[in-house]
Amino acid sequence: MRVTIEEIDIGFELPPSSHVIDVHGMNKGELVDSENQKSNAIHFDEQFSRQQGFSSPVATGMTSTFYANQLLTDFFGEDWFSGGSLATKYILPMYFGETIICRARVIGKEKEQAGCRLDMELWAEKPDGQKNMVGSASVLVRTI
Amino acid sequence: MQRIFLGHARVGDEVEMRYEMTSELVDQYVRTTGDCNPWYTGHSPFGGPVAPPVLICMQHSMMLSEKFLSRGRMLISTDASYSGPVLVGATIIAKGRIVANYIKRDRQYIDMEAESWSGDGRLLIRDRRSYLPKYSKGRGE
C-alpha cells in the first residue's frame, strides 16, 4: 500500500482496476468446467444461455467479486484477510470479452481500539460508466 | 445422490462439504482471474501461501451444487465477512442452510447462509448469498 491511514479520508478513492473478462480463463475447464455435470451451462452453452434470455454465455456472478477482492487485497494487504467484509450485488449480466472497471470509495472512517475502520462503497462498471455490480466493503486497518 | 432443481429447495435444507484448500484450487483461481498476488503461491505475512478469501466464498456455491442443480442458476448477491486467513493446505468444513425462498418481481429467489470453518474449529468466513434458480420469470424448472 502506498498511502498511510492518515492520508485516507472520506471521499478517498482507491486506485481503480480494469479487467477484460476472459472466456478462456473462466470457461475452459477452469472454475467452470463444461465436462463437469455440476457446472452451470449458462456460462458456456450458447443455446442454453439464449434460452434463458441472454445474448450469449454470461460470466459467473463472482467475476466482479473476484476483481473487487483483488482491488481490496492489493490495497489493504494483510488487513483484508484478517477482518474484511465484502457485499456485492450483480445488476447487469457480464459477457466474455467485456471490460469492467472496479472502483471503491471511502464513505466512513472510524477509530476503533484495534485500528481504524474504513467503510467503502464499491462498484464495477463498463467503460461507458454503466454499472454491472454495486456493493460495499469494510476493513479494519491495523498495519498502515 | 440425485440433485434437485434449486427452485424446489425448502427453507431449512442444509448442505455440507469438507475439502482441502489445495494449491491447485488457488492456481485455478489465479489462472482464471489473472490475480497473481505472490501471497497466493509463496510466502505471505501469515507464513506460507494463503488463499484469496473470495475463493472460499466461491466454494459455498460449489457446495450448493452437491445437492442442487446448477444449470441455469444465477448468483445475484453475496455478503461475506472474513475472520482470518486460510493457509493453502488447510482443511475446510463448509456448511450452508437455505434461509429464504420467495418471489420478487415475478422471479423466484433462494437465499443461503453459509459458514466455512477450519479443521481446528476457527470460523473463517460467513456469508449470505442470493440466487435465481432460473433467470426467466416465474416458479418451476
Q: Mean pLDDT lowest for which of A40-54, A59-73, A97-111?
A: A40-54
Q: Per-residue pLDDT for A72 more than 60?
A: yes
The percent helix, strand, coil of chain A (3-state, each to 5) is 25, 35, 40
How far from B122 is each of B79, B83, B95, B117, B125, CA to CA, in Å? Answer: 19, 9, 13, 5, 9
How many domains are contained in chain B?
A: 1
Whole-number percent of chain A with pLDDT over 90: 55
Q: Is residue B34 part of a domain?
A: no
Best of A1, A73, A80, A95 to disrupt the B interface (most B CBs within 10 Å) is: A73
Which residues, 6 or more positions from B139, have their beta carbon under 8 angstroms from its beta carbon? B7, B103, B108
Domain assignment of residue B47, yes or no:
no
Q: Structure pTM?
A: 0.89
- Give a yes or no: residue B80 inside a domain: yes
- The domain of B17 spans 4-21+52-132
What cell does B97 get? 442452510
Cβ partners under 8 Å of residue A61, min gap 6: A90, B74, B75, B76, B78
Average pLDDT (A109-127) is 95
Which residues of chain A lie closer than 8 angstroms to B74, CB-CB?
Answer: 42, 58, 61, 90
A12 touching B (Cβ < 8 Å): no
Query: B77 to chain A, minimum CA–CA distance in Å?
Result: 4
**Inter-chain contact B79–A74, Cβ cutoff 8 Å?**
no
What digits encode the pLDDT tens for the residues A45-68?
A: 888 888 888 888 888 778 899 999
CATH of the domain at B75: 3.10.129.10
Considering CB atoms only, which of A52, A54, A89 is closest to B77?
A89
Between chains, do A87 and B45 touch, taking CB under 8 Å as contact? no
Dist. CA B138–CA B141, nearest whole Å: 9
Given this model, what pLDDT does residue A29 score? Answer: 39
- Can you list the domains of chain A with their CATH numbers? 5-22+60-142 (3.10.129.10)
- Between chain A and chain B, the number of residue pairs with CB atoms below 8 A apart is 121
Domain presence at residue B113: yes
In a domain, B29, yes or no: no
pLDDT in tens, B67-94: 998 778 889 999 999 998 999 999 999 9
Put simply, the answer to whether B79 touches A87 (Cβ < 8 Å) is yes
Give domain status of residue B112, yes or no. Answer: yes
Element (H, E) at B67: helix B53-67
User: What is the distance of C-alpha A42 from the center of its chain?
Assistant: 20
